[in-house]
């Protein structure tokens, strides 16, 4: 199979899995205390460079259904992309156990910034303030204590997804003979 077709296929499969897993576990994928099972896939850039785009595209599509609206689509996807790029960079170390660290750290500190500020504004149809006012609201209503608590809870959820699910996936793919395509 042509290498480009194989990579594009892998991007599509990873993106599709990310979306499907997020929607199947919707009730605990978007809240302040969250375990987004699809985040297990964020370790895949360690083995596959194209997985960076697969998880970013999957996150973008999945966040369309987020109760946090455009803020989660833009910031959540950007944070996932940054974490995926850092995970890819860690591949140079050849230490699989490090792969979950970027998604845990980036999402804990980044997602907590807006989730802890906006969680109280969620109504039945999502955010109850205008999309334009969302960014200014986050920074004018920032409180350190809820933020730190949010960082801890998101880090725990992210660690569950990436270490309990993602790392075994990496080891399984490595044992099956999937090699790093530099």
Give the Cα separation of 38 and 161 in Å (integer). Answer: 7
Q: What is the domain range of residue 148?
A: 3-175
Q: Identify whether 111 is part of a domain.
A: yes
pLDDT (tens digit, 9 = 90+) per residue, 117-158? 776 655 555 555 555 566 666 666 678 888 899 899 999 999
Give the Cα separation of 97 and 46 in Å (integer). Answer: 10
Q: How many domains does the chain have?
A: 1
Do 49 and 90 form a contact (C-beta atoms < 8 A)?
Answer: no
What is the pTM for the complete model shown? 0.86
* 122, β-bridge pairs: 127
DSSP letter for each residue of 126-168: EESS-HHHHHHHHHHS--HHHHHHHHHHHHHHHHIIIIIIIHH
Q: Identify whether 148 is part of a domain.
A: yes
Q: Identify whether 182 is part of a domain.
A: no
Q: Identify whether 181 is part of a domain.
A: no
* 126, β-bridge pairs: 123
Element holding 77 (H helix, E strand)? helix 77-90
pLDDT tens digits for the chain (182 residues)?
699 999 999 999 999 999 999 999 987 776 656 789 999 999 999 999 999 999 999 999 999 988 888 888 999 999 999 999 999 999 999 999 999 999 999 999 999 988 887 766 555 555 555 555 666 666 666 788 888 998 999 999 999 999 999 999 999 999 876 454 44
Q: Identify whether 22 is part of a domain.
A: yes
Q: Identify whether 180 is part of a domain.
A: no
Do 87 and 99 form a contact (C-beta atoms < 8 A)?
Answer: yes
């Amino acid at each position: 199979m042509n290498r480009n077709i194989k990579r594009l296929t892998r991007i599509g499969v990873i993106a599709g899995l990310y979306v499907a897993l997020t929607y199947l576990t919707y009730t605990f994928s978007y809240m302040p205390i969250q375990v987004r099972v699809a985040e297990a896939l964020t370790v895949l850039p360690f083995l596959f460079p194209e997985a960076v785009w697969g998880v970013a595209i999957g996150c973008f599509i999945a966040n369309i259904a987020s109760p946090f609206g455009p803020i989660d689509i833009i910031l959540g996807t950007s944070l996932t992309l940054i974490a995926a790029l850092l995970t890819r960079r860690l591949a140079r170390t050849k230490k699989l156990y490090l792969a979950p660290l970027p998604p845990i750290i980036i999402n804990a500190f980044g997602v907590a910034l807006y989730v802890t500020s906006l969680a109280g504004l969620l109504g039945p149809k999502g955010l109850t303030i205008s999309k334009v006012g969302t960014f200014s609201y986050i920074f004018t209503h920032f409180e350190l204590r809820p933020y730190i608590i949010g960082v801890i809870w998101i880090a725990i959820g992210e660690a569950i997804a990436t270490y309990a699910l993602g790392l075994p996936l990496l080891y399984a793919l490595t044992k099956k003979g999937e090699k790093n395509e530099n």
